[in-house]
Amino acid sequence: MKILVLNAGSSSQKSCLYNIEGNSLPKHPPEPIWTANIDWTVSEKEGILTVKAKEIKQTITLDRNNKAQAIPQMLETLTQGETKVIGQLNDINVVGHRVVHGGIKYSEATKITPDVKAKIAELIPLAPNHNPGHIEGIEAIEKVLGNVPQVALFDTAFHQTIPLENAAYPLPFEWLEKGIRRYGFHGISHEYCAHRAAEIVNRPLSSLKLINCHLGNGCSLTAIKDGQSIDTTMGFTPLEGLMMGTRSGSIDPAILIYLMGEYGLTPDELNTLLNKESGLKGVSGISADIRAILQGIKENNFRAQLAFDMYIHRLRSQIGSMLAVLGGLDVLVFTAGVGENAFLVREKACETFEFLGLKLDKTKNQASPVDEDIATEDSSVRILVIHTEEDWAIAQQCWHLCH
C-alpha cells in the first residue's frame, strides 16, 4: 500500500510517501521512499520546494503569487525526473492529512467527506495559521488525484480525555456550551511519543505518569496518565501556553483590551501581533529559530539572552503545572525540532527539578541522542529524547482505515 502523508504547518507543507508491503505494519517506523517540504519563510518573493528520494536531493523555486500550484508541482516530482518513485499518481492508495483543529467532534482518524471538509473550514477562526493549509491540501489532492481516499487525523483528538474541570475556562457557563473550552493540540505527536516512551523504558503506558514536551516553532506540554491526556498547555487555539517561535503564548488578556482601547489595534492586527510577531522573534528581534537566539547570546546580544531566559522560565513553570496535575512523574520527554536538538534547552529545563530526584546526564544530553534515556542511572525520573514520527502515526491510521 502506498500512503501519501501531507502535514501542513503554519508556513510549510511537509509531505512523504510510504510503501507498506505485506499484510502487516512494520514494528518500527520505516523510512519514506520520498519526502518533500514546501517552505514559504525563506524569501518574501518565492517559496522553496525541497524533494528527497533515492539519495537524491532536488530544490525547486516556487512562485509565491501562485501558491495553489505548489502542491501539484510537488506531486509531479513523484512521477518525473530523478526523484521519480512511482509510475503514476494513481498508484497512491490513500492520502493522510494532519489537521490541527477538529473541535470536539472528532476523536479518531476520519475519512474525509464533504461534511468533514466543511467542519475543518468552519474551524478556521480557531486555527487561522493551520486549518486553511489543510483545506488547501485536501482540495489539491481532489484536483490531482480525484477520488483517492483521504483521511484526517486531528491534533485535538488525543485531548478528548481531558477532564472538564481542566478543559473549561472560568467564564460564564453559557460560553462553555458555545464551545469555548480547552481543545489542546500536537495530539498526534503527544500520543506517538507517549507510546514510544513506554517502549523505551519497558513499562506499560498505563502505569506511567508522563510529561511530553513538544518544543518546535509551536510548543506545548501534555500531562499523560494511564495513557490518556489529562491536561495540556495549548487551549481554545494553538496560541495559549508556552512562549513559542513567533507566538506569545499565555499573556494577561487585559493587555488586548488595552491595546484596542489605547492604540486602536483591530482584531486582525492583534492576531498578527500575537501569532506572528511575538515569542522568540518578537522579544529577540533576531529570529524565531532557537539556533539564531543561541548565536545571539554568544555575541552578547541582550535581547537574545532575554528571549531565551523568558522561554526557559515559562517552560519550567508549565512543567511544574503539569507535575501538579499528575501528582508525580515517571518520565519527562523532549521532542520536536527544539526538544530534539537544543541540548541547552533540555539542560536548563531540567535544572530546577533536581529536588524531585530528576538528574540529567550532561554527557548523554550533549551527544545528539535519538530515542534515548539521558537521565543518570540513579535519577528517579527517566528523561527521554524522542524523535517524533507524526507522519508515520498518520500513515499507520490510514493503513488501518483503508487496508
The dihedrals phi and psi of 98, each to the nearest 5 degrees, come to -80, 125
60 alpha carbon, distance to own chain's centre:
25
Catalytic residue among 63, 91, 155, 289: 155
- Angle formed at CA 180 by CA 250 and CA 266, multiple of 5 degrees: 60
Coil/strand/helix, residue 328? coil
Q: Which is it for strands 56-63 and 94-99: parallel, antiparallel or unpaired?
A: unpaired
Cβ atoms of 300 and 264 within 8 Å: the answer is no
Is the C-alpha dihedral spanning 168, 169, 174, 180 positive or negative? negative
C-alpha span between 292 and 73 (Å, rounded): 31
| Unique residue bearing C-alpha cell 503554519 | 10
Cβ atoms of 224 and 217 within 8 Å: the answer is no
C-alpha span between 205 and 347 (Å, rounded): 25
Q: List, as one string, the DSSP characters of 108-149.
A: S-EE--HHHHHHHHHTGGGSTTTHHHHHHHHHHHHHHHTT--
C-alpha span between 40 and 359 (Å, rounded): 40
DSSP state of 106: -
Count how many Cα atoms sit within 13 Å of the Cα of residue 303 in the half-sphere of its side chain.
12
Coil/strand/helix, residue 28? coil
Our answer to whether residue 155 is catalytic in this structure is yes
Give the residue numbers marked as catalytic. 155
